Structure 1
Amino acid sequence: MTSCSKFGEATTATEVTNTFSEQIKGKNILLVGASPNSLGEHIALSISRHSPSLLILASRTASKINTLISSIHAITPNSPVKSLTLDLSSQSSIRKAAKEMETLTSKLDIIINNAALNVPDCETTTEGIEMHFGTNHIGMFLLTNLLLPNVLLAASQSAIPGSTRIINLTSAGHRLSPIRFSDFNFLKKYEELPEEEKPPTGLPKALMDPEVTYSPFVAYGQSKTGNILFSVSLTERLKDRGVLSFSVHPGSIWTGLARNLDAQGQALIKTTGKVWKSGDQGAATAMVAAFDPKMNDMPGGYLADCQFAPAAEHATDPKIAERLWSLSEELVGEKFDMRGK
């Protein structure tokens, strides 16, 4: 259980950050996925009120970051905020941004990987990887690993092991698909997949037509499974060095992520949420994961509605997480292992 058992689906990020204000003060924080009218906006605003040493906002569009910085400074004029532009669907852009980070700060106490996309058609990244998987997981994998020296420096200087953290925003949609190791680009019909890579049975035909190889919802689900498995791997590799990683389902929120879908997709999404949250409510669970001091001794985990929650077995198995780490290294052309260094 987290520190506050009263926190739940209606809790706001404002409430959480007010509670954990001392844990925010003085920290260097990177928020990936920050733009107006997004979940990132509510995360950024809630953090900026509590005196972080530095808040870095990363997004694809510099003008959107600047608009959000203006909103922050309208509330907290002296808040130290910097911007970082990057395109998570381009590995060269990610590498360039990681180099630019060297000019912004040498250490990062908290990384919040909030950025994600959901597209209705089959697209690929610059490197030819299915767009959801290549951006939502592989892009985050590469960026985070390139910044791990900054994270480990912060952890080495922290008096409280476990307070240095990497938060990966995921979704309950991870239940739609395990990692398709034999077909992450969705070129096969699901009957052709190994049993352990098939989507769960009983999905509506609108989600998984057996005659079509590509389903955007299932592809999105695979990428969200990747986010959870990434946190499993990060904690396994880094917990002995004072770094923890948590994956977070923010809940059902009507953001630009859903607005990118076509009419059929939007209609389907509207049926999936039992409770629709405001942006401030949607940002709350990430704030618990990032700052709750009770979680310093936790072995990572998956959170929803501000508390620990069960995730699908295909998203939590350490052996699958290790296999995904190896595949991810292959897809970015670089090996990362910070254990023992």
Structure 2
Amino acid sequence: MVSHTEFDRHTTATTVAQAFDDNIRDKTVVIVGVSPKSLGESMTTALAAHSPSLLILASRTRAKIEKVVSEVKSKHADLRIENVELDLSSLDSIRKGAEQINSLAKQIDILINNAAVVTSSHEFTQDGLELQFGTNHIGPFLLTNLLIPKLLASAQKSSPGSTRVVNVTSLGHVISPIRFSDHKFQKRPEDIPSDERPMSRPGVSFDPPPGETYVPFVAYGQSKTANILLSLYLNQHLSDAGVQSIATHPGSIWTDLSRNLDEKHLAMIENTSTFWKDIDQGSATTLVAALDPKLNDPKVIFLNDCQVAEPAEWASNANAAERLWKLSEEIVGQKFELSPSNRL
């Protein structure tokens, strides 16, 4: 199913980019979520060494993107690289950022939705959404849809399935399905349908304390399930037009993502893995998803450690993907028809 069965958790993004050099050259790549010492920077660095025609880097803080741009340009002076200020927790910012990206690119060959947030407290976006669901799913959902015409422009000129949308997810998706009846976490678990409740195992509880409704890692798990369901839906509706979407688990990595966690939740993360990747290793699986020509199969929706993997059942459910799409349209106040007659 993949070109390199020898790739594993030790493989680096640098190695992956070298292996797929021909699939990077002259391509336009958009990477969302780029800052110093991040997975976004690692992906940018790996791709920049292989002559893409244009790299568009988007992130919430322009000054952080500019530091990455400066570092990349010091090694690849002739590379065209643009930066876009874009806050995934703001629908208005996403629309403005998408407009700028569309003005910069004639087509988009690869879109990498890498930005995310994780937090210990029950917070909300300025649009009133639970922060992790709003930033990690609704943001990429809206941005991807606003960029679809440029993705389709690439697909018309490229081999089937080589135009890619990569959604960075997490194994944390196994914690929770989508809480369609309570995505803002305003209800107790016993007050929502049983098929929306979080994972339950002997000795492991993801229920909130008495009198509370919010569990940070359940909210994170919901948002990461949504990332996979988005790839599933896109494949169902755009694969025949040449666009392929894959969600990827980067592995256990210490990045700035955990900056908003308290000591209790940081300690919980420390106990989730016995193997911690560096940033170059953590970017590898996402670049495999973006570049490997053998992954042009719409049934492939999830990669882990550079190989095809199976997500949790609730993250591979077509009915859930359709329900999530409709819910997301309602939230952003805009319908996105992906039928053949409405694609371009």
Distance 2:182 2:208 in 1: 17
1:82 equivalent in structure 2? 82
The answer (yes or no) to whether the contact 2:300–2:308 under 8 Å persists in 1 is no
1:194 equivalent in structure 2? 193
The letter for the 1-side match of 2:268 is L
2:268 equivalent in structure 1? 268
Secondary structure of the 1:157 match is coil
Deviation larger for 89-98 or 99-108 = 99-108
Structure 1 residues 66 and 188 mapped into 2: Cα distance closer, same or farther (>3 Å)? same
1:95 equivalent in structure 2? 95
Secondary structure of the 1:273 match is coil
Distance 2:203 2:63 in 1: 40
Q: Once the 2 structures are TM-superposed, how far is the Cα of residue 203 of structure 1 from its aligned partner? A: 7.6
Q: Once the 2 structures are TM-superposed, how far is the Cα of residue 330 of structure 1 from its aligned partner? A: 0.3
Distance 1:203 1:131 in 2: 29
The letter for the 2-side match of 1:261 is L
The answer (yes or no) to whether the contact 1:39–1:283 under 8 Å persists in 2 is yes
The answer (yes or no) to whether the contact 2:200–2:206 under 8 Å persists in 1 is no
Q: Once the 2 structures are TM-superposed, how far is the Cα of residue 298 of structure 1 from its aligned partner? A: 4.7
Given the alignment of the two structures, is residue 182 of structure 1 paired with residue 211 of structure 2, yes or no? no
2:172 equivalent in structure 1? 173
The letter for the 2-side match of 1:275 is F
The answer (yes or no) to whether the contact 2:185–2:213 under 8 Å persists in 1 is yes
The RMSD of aligned alpha carbons is 1.2
Secondary structure of the 1:44 match is helix
| TM-score normalised by the chain length of structure 1 | 0.97
Structure 1 residues 99 and 50 mapped into 2: Cα distance closer, same or farther (>3 Å)? same
Deviation larger for 316-325 or 200-209 = 200-209
- List gaps (5 residues or longer) in structure 2: none
Given the alignment of the two structures, is residue 301 of structure 1 paired with residue 287 of structure 2, yes or no? no
1:45-96 CA deviation, whole Å, 9 max, x = no partner? Answer: 0011111110000000110000000111122222211001111111011111
1:34 equivalent in structure 2? 34
The letter for the 1-side match of 2:188 is K
2:23 equivalent in structure 1? 23
The answer (yes or no) to whether the contact 2:245–2:298 under 8 Å persists in 1 is no
1:262-317 CA deviation, whole Å, 9 max, x = no partner? Answer: 11111110100121000000000001000001112453310000001111000110
Secondary structure of the 1:147 match is helix
Structure 1 residues 45 and 248 mapped into 2: Cα distance closer, same or farther (>3 Å)? same
The answer (yes or no) to whether the contact 1:60–1:85 under 8 Å persists in 2 is yes
1:104 equivalent in structure 2? 104
Secondary structure of the 2:296 match is helix
Q: Once the 2 structures are TM-superposed, how far is the Cα of residue 106 of structure 1 from its aligned partner? A: 2.3
The answer (yes or no) to whether the contact 1:189–1:210 under 8 Å persists in 2 is no
Distance 1:69 1:206 in 2: 44
The answer (yes or no) to whether the contact 2:199–2:206 under 8 Å persists in 1 is no
1:231 equivalent in structure 2? 231
The answer (yes or no) to whether the contact 2:58–2:85 under 8 Å persists in 1 is yes
The letter for the 1-side match of 2:4 is C
The letter for the 1-side match of 2:241 is R
The letter for the 1-side match of 2:321 is A
Given the alignment of the two structures, is residue 218 of structure 1 paired with residue 218 of structure 2, yes or no? yes
Secondary structure of the 1:253 match is coil
Distance 1:242 1:215 in 2: 39
1:221-277 CA deviation, whole Å, 9 max, x = no partner? Answer: 100000000000011110000000000000000001123211111111010012100
Q: Once the 2 structures are TM-superposed, how far is the Cα of residue 202 of structure 1 from its aligned partner? A: 2.7
The answer (yes or no) to whether the contact 1:16–1:288 under 8 Å persists in 2 is yes
2:154 equivalent in structure 1? 154
Deviation larger for 241-250 or 252-261 = 252-261
Given the alignment of the two structures, is residue 14 of structure 1 paired with residue 3 of structure 2, yes or no? no
Distance 1:50 1:203 in 2: 49
1:190-225 CA deviation, whole Å, 9 max, x = no partner? Answer: 111101000111386784335220011110110000
Structure 1 residues 204 and 280 mapped into 2: Cα distance closer, same or farther (>3 Å)? farther
Distance 1:136 1:167 in 2: 13
Map 1:234-249 → 2, pairs under 5 A: 234-249=234-249
The answer (yes or no) to whether the contact 1:239–1:299 under 8 Å persists in 2 is no
The answer (yes or no) to whether the contact 2:152–2:243 under 8 Å persists in 1 is yes
Distance 2:300 2:82 in 1: 29
1:135 equivalent in structure 2? 135
The answer (yes or no) to whether the contact 2:56–2:101 under 8 Å persists in 1 is no
Quote the sequence identity (%). 50
- List gaps (5 residues or longer) in structure 1: none
